[in-house]
Structure 1
């Protein structure tokens, strides 16, 4: 069996397992996993830029927030339904990521990281400045009656879980397919040796621009999904820490792997969840574990498995 076929079976098997878990897990873990899948979608978006194109961004919270506020404001003040509002969130994230890419890609290396951080901080301050509409740090709640698609109530735990699974599955399969075609190979070439890729005749800027836009749009989809599935929109999600989180999740799971973002998000979420039940100093436990993983599993959990035992892992 070819590596491509194995990869496809792995992704479809993972989606099937997550579907079965919707009906097998206790309500507490079902709710947790729904949240994890949405956040893992955010991590998948980040992985496109960092894991495949090799561009370190510290500003992805602005794309997550663009999708979240695009949907939230459209529903709150525009009276739009879930589907049109979700489309507004995607458009906002896509437009913002295009503008940011055209400006930030004029820089390289550390400068790119700093520029994206500054853009994200500007986005956060913009949310606070227009507090009359966004409600600032307090945020606002999307009415339960509005969170429905047709006859499907997205506030129902099982329906919410399945909707999160659809969102995660779409992001996973899109990125998996992207890495099976030449576009993905060029992104990896840019990551490994940008100058050589350019000398081979590839338009490096165009590929990097596309990577930022795809990454930002997927991240925006995650933000819109989080808003509608969990009913809350707040400025916290546009702060610097929400730009750091996807970087941690991707590093933990394995940068440049398709299932690494889910594994990293799942690991980090339950590490904090269980350690917080043991002590108030739960972040100390999380920090020690992260340091140990950084020292002994530098490629991330999935990355180490691929490097040591299963070379075909995508």
Structure 2
């Protein structure tokens, strides 16, 4: 079996398992997996910048929040439909990503990381400043009538799970196609040796800007979907911790792998969930496990699978 066929089989099996979960999982795990799927879309967007292009960002919460607030404010104050709200969130994320990319890509390395963090913090402070509309730290709740998408009530647990799965499947297939495309291969070349890629005639700035816009757009779509599916829009999602989370999820799952962001998000969620059932110091347990993974599986879960078993894993 070719690498392409094996890749399709692997990712298809994952989607089939998640679809089966809609019918067999208990209510609690049903809800957790829906949340994991949406947040792994956010991590997948981050992975395009970090895992495939080599751009370390600490400002991705800006894109996630732009999508969430673009959708939430349009639905809450503009009275638009949820479908148009999703488009508004996606549009806000793409616009913010394009503007940030034009400015931040004038820097590199640690400076790029710091600039993205500064922009994200500016976005967080903007949310707080416009408290009369955003409700600041308190946030606001979307009512059930505002969460009916194409006749489907997203406040229903079963509908929410299927909607999260559809979003996850679309992004998974899209990212898989992207990394196998010519554009995706150029991104990997930039990650490995930008000077050589430039010497071969590629416009590295344009490709990196494209990576930032695509990454920011996916993150914004995840933010808009999260707000719509779970009915809450709050400033917490614009804070620095939501810029660190996708980095952790990608590192745990395997940077530069399509399936890695999902594995990392799933692992992190259940690690904290299970350890919190035994002790209030669950973050200590989570920290010890994360350190152990860093020592013994430095390339992440999917990265180790690629290193040890299947070198063609995308």
Q: TM-score, normalised by structure 2?
A: 0.99
User: Residues of 2 paired with 1:242 and 1:150: CA distance?
Assistant: 30
- The answer on whether the counterparts of 1:4 and 1:180 sit within 8 Å (CA) in structure 2 is no
How far residue 184 of structure 1 moved from its aligned partner, in angstroms, is 0.7
User: Residues of 1 paired with 2:72 and 2:150: CA distance?
Assistant: 18
User: Residues of 2 paired with 1:66 and 1:254: CA distance?
Assistant: 26
**Corresponding residue of 2:312:** 312
**Corresponding residue of 1:226:** 226
CA root-mean-square deviation: 0.7
Structure 2: which 5+ residue stretches go unaligned?
none
How far residue 312 of structure 1 moved from its aligned partner, in angstroms, is 2.2
**Corresponding residue of 1:73:** 73
**Corresponding residue of 1:127:** 127
User: Residues of 1 paired with 2:151 and 2:222: CA distance?
Assistant: 23
**Corresponding residue of 2:84:** 84
**Corresponding residue of 2:265:** 265
The answer to whether residue 292 in structure 2 is matched with residue 298 in structure 1 is no
User: Residues of 2 paired with 1:129 and 1:103: CA distance?
Assistant: 23
Q: TM-score, normalised by structure 1?
A: 0.99
User: Residues of 1 paired with 2:93 and 2:5: CA distance?
Assistant: 32
Deviating 4+ runs (over 6 angstroms): none
**Corresponding residue of 1:7:** 7
User: Residues of 2 paired with 1:45 and 1:190: CA distance?
Assistant: 18
User: Residues of 2 paired with 1:16 and 1:80: CA distance?
Assistant: 34
Superposition pairs of residues 23-62 of structure 1, within 5 angstroms: 23-62=23-62
User: Residues of 2 paired with 1:285 and 1:272: CA distance?
Assistant: 8
User: Residues of 2 paired with 1:224 and 1:15: CA distance?
Assistant: 22
- The answer on whether the counterparts of 1:260 and 1:303 sit within 8 Å (CA) in structure 2 is yes
How far residue 7 of structure 1 moved from its aligned partner, in angstroms, is 1.3
Structure 1: which 5+ residue stretches go unaligned?
none
State which drifts further: 253-262 or 150-159.
150-159
Show CA shifts across 1:47-98 (max 9, x none): 0000000000000000000000000000000111110000000000000000
User: Residues of 1 paired with 2:180 and 2:11: CA distance?
Assistant: 13
